[in-house]
């Protein structure tokens, strides 16, 4: 069931950017030429604007990559703020929402969620997907019906997707699955791999979909089942993502059961490396940080979720210095705003250390663009250069938040003051997905969100 974007125009298309972030620097009057969905050339200082070129007013940057998403969590926004509790009590509310979804309702919800992402400047999403089977755990006629619903939703919303199909086999260390979790499981890693192989083949020819692998967590995949997942991802050169040390309780349980931290356990089974991304990585020892860094394992920070769930502040800068590329995700979608995720990486570190200036704005932009796309298996995206995928986002600089910005500090202003509401245009594969703050493919995104979320809780 391959997913493809509508065919690109047979003739090259031109976009003239008032300002653009090119090669890590702000350039003016930048002409981007596009052919067959890729950038064919980037020329700075072009004036006047060519008559046929689309004018992109504001600052144009490579498209944003939302590396970690659970689309159905969007339905919980606000609903879990009426009580206190912990991550574990929040999880029960999340399970209750998951129990109501089938392929049709999930496609509707995910289309609206991905459209919200597009409006926020996102051009590629990593969907950490484990709602595989029916609510009672039985297989759909097509065992990948839920995965197809997500790829179809991304197509409808006009963004790229890496479907990170997740192995989820246990309710915890030496703990059986509960009734809700049964739908997450294929029984063992071999059957998981067989199902994912069908997905991989279905999208092998797609230029809008990648299929990746994920280990939900070391508590949800028994240690003897980890090597087959790692081997399958390696054999097929797939991205491999894993929730890592999000909660202290996970670390404590892993140490009690295996006498290793979750990071050490993953290292022991060969799961770390440059195709692997550790999500959250909140509670790490120095040894953990060194293992991730020396193996070039990426770290995905999701600050708006980590603070919403009271997880803690992860050692993003220490991981970066140790050699781990850092990228960003909106995870539970407490909000969908990659600018907020980016600045939170710096601002949370300031709160922790009582010192400013850990990250340059250019480094945070790279985390939100090039590093994120690399983590999702899109190495040709995330840069404004010839040969790159023609995916880019334009931020309006004439809003109340950004009015008065000068080119010399445009990157800093965007990282530390912009919001999703400032996204003016989004181009994916050389076509507008968002134009003048309006989604070009999905009408009434708020209405679609309200309807699909209302259907879950009716």
Question: Is 301:328 a contact under the CB 8 Å cutoff?
Answer: yes
* Residue 247 CB neighbours (<10 A): 21
pLDDT of residue 223: 98
17/187 Cα distance (integer angstroms)? 52
Give the CA distances from residue 246 to residues 84, 225, 243, 300, in Å, rounded to whole numbers and listed in that order. Answer: 18, 21, 7, 11
The C-alpha atoms of residue 138 and residue 183 are separated, in whole angstroms, by 7
Q: How many CB atoms lie within 10 A of CB 406?
A: 9
DSSP letters for 74-86: GGGTTGGGSS---
Residue-wise pLDDT for 47-103, tens only, equals 999 999 999 999 999 999 999 999 999 999 988 777 777 777 777 888 888 888 999
In angstroms, rounded to a whole number, what is the distance separating the alpha carbons of residues 301 and 440?
A: 30
pLDDT value of position 11: 60
Alpha-carbon distance of 310 to 291, in angstroms, equals: 25
Alpha helices in 248-369 (DSSP H): 248-258, 262-268, 286-294, 303-308, 316-322, 338-353, 361-368
Residue 215 has pLDDT above 80, yes or no: yes
- What local confidence, expressed as pLDDT, does residue 91 receive? 79
Active-site annotation holds for 317: no
Across 76-80, 231-235, 270-274, 391-395, least confident range:
76-80
pLDDT band of 2, cuts 50, 70, 90 = very low
Question: What does the pLDDT read at residue 362?
Answer: 97
Cα 417 from chain centre: 21
pLDDT > 60? residue 10: no
DSSP structural state of residue 261: -
Distance CA 271, CA 287 (A): 16
121 or 136, which is more confident?
121
- Residue 260 confidence (pLDDT): 98
280 is catalytic: yes
Residue tagged active-site, from 331, 337, 348, 422: 331
Is 50 exceeded by the pLDDT of residue 332? yes
pTM (two decimals): 0.96
For residues 405 and 397, is the Cβ–Cβ distance under 8 A? Answer: yes
**Calpha distance 271→256 (Å, rounded):** 21
Average pLDDT over residues 312-328: 98
Complete edge-to-edge strand list for the sheet that includes strand 160-167? 64-69, 122-129, 160-167, 209-215, 240-244, 276-280, 298-301, 326-328
- Catalytic, out of 70, 132, 280, 283: 280
Query: Which residue shows structure tokens 């690399």?
Result: 374
- pLDDT(4) > 70: no
What DSSP designation does 121 have? T
In the beta sheet, which residues pair with residue 21?
Answer: 26
pLDDT at 78: 83
pLDDT at 7 over 60: no
Look up residue 377 and give its two tokens: 């298996």
**Mean pLDDT within 104-114:** 97
Question: What is the per-residue pLDDT for 416?
Answer: 98
Mean per-residue pLDDT of the chain? 95
The tens digit of pLDDT for each residue in 267-280 reads: 999 999 999 999 99
């Amino acid at each position: 069931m391959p997913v493809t974007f509508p065919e690109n125009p047979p003739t090259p298309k031109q976009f003239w950017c008032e300002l653009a972030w090119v090669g890590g620097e702000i350039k003016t009057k930048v002409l981007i030429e596009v052919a067959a969905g890729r950038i064919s050339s980037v020329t700075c200082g072009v004036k006047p604007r060519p008559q046929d070129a689309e004018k992109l007013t504001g600052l144009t940057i490579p498209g944003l990559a939302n590396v970690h998403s659970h689309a159905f969590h969007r339905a919980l926004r606000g609903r879990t703020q009426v009580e206190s509790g912990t991550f574990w009590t929040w999880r029960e509310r999340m399970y209750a929402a998951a129990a109501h979804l089938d392929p049709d309702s999930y496609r509707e919800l995910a289309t609206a969620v991905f459209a919200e992402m597009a409006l926020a400047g996102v051009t590629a999403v990593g969907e950490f997907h484990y709602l595989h089977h029916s609510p009672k755990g039985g297989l759909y006629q097509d065992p990948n019906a839920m995965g197809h619903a997500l790829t179809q939703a991304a197509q409808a919303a006009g963004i790229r997707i890496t479907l990170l199909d997740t192995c989820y086999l246990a309710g915890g260390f030496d703990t059986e699955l509960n009734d809700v979790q049964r739908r997450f499981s294929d029984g063992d890693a071999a059957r998981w791999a067989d199902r994912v192989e069908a997905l991989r083949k279905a999208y092998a020819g797609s230029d809008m979909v990648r299929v990746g692998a994920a280990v939900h967590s070391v508590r949800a995949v028994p240690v003897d089942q980890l090597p087959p997942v790692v081997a399958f991802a390696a054999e097929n050169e797939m991205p491999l993502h894993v929730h890592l040390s999000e909660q202290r309780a996970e670390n404590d349980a892993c140490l009690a059961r295996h006498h290793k931290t979750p990071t050490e356990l993953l290292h022991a089974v060969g799961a770390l490396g440059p195709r692997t991304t550790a999500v959250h990585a909140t509670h790490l020892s120095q040894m953990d940080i060194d293992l991730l860094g020396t193996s070039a394992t990426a770290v995905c920070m999701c600050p708006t979720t980590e603070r919403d769930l009271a997880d803690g502040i992860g050692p993003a800068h220490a991981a970066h210095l140790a050699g781990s590329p850092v990228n960003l995700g909106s995870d539970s979608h407490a909000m969908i705003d990659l600018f907020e995720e980016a600045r939170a990486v710096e601002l949370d570190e300031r709160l922790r250390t009582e010192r400013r200036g850990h990250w340059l704005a250019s480094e945070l932009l790279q985390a939100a663009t090039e590093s994120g796309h690399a983590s999702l298996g899109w190495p040709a995206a995330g840069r404004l250069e010839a040969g790159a995928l023609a995916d880019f986002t334009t931020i309006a600089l004439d809003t109340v938040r950004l009015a008065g910005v000068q080119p010399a500090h445009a990157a800093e202003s965007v990282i530390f003051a912009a919001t999703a509401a400032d996204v003016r245009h989004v181009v994916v594969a050389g076509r507008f997905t968002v134009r003048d703050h309006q989604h070009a493919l999905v009408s009434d995104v708020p209405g679609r969100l309200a309807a699909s979320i209302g259907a879950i809780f009716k």
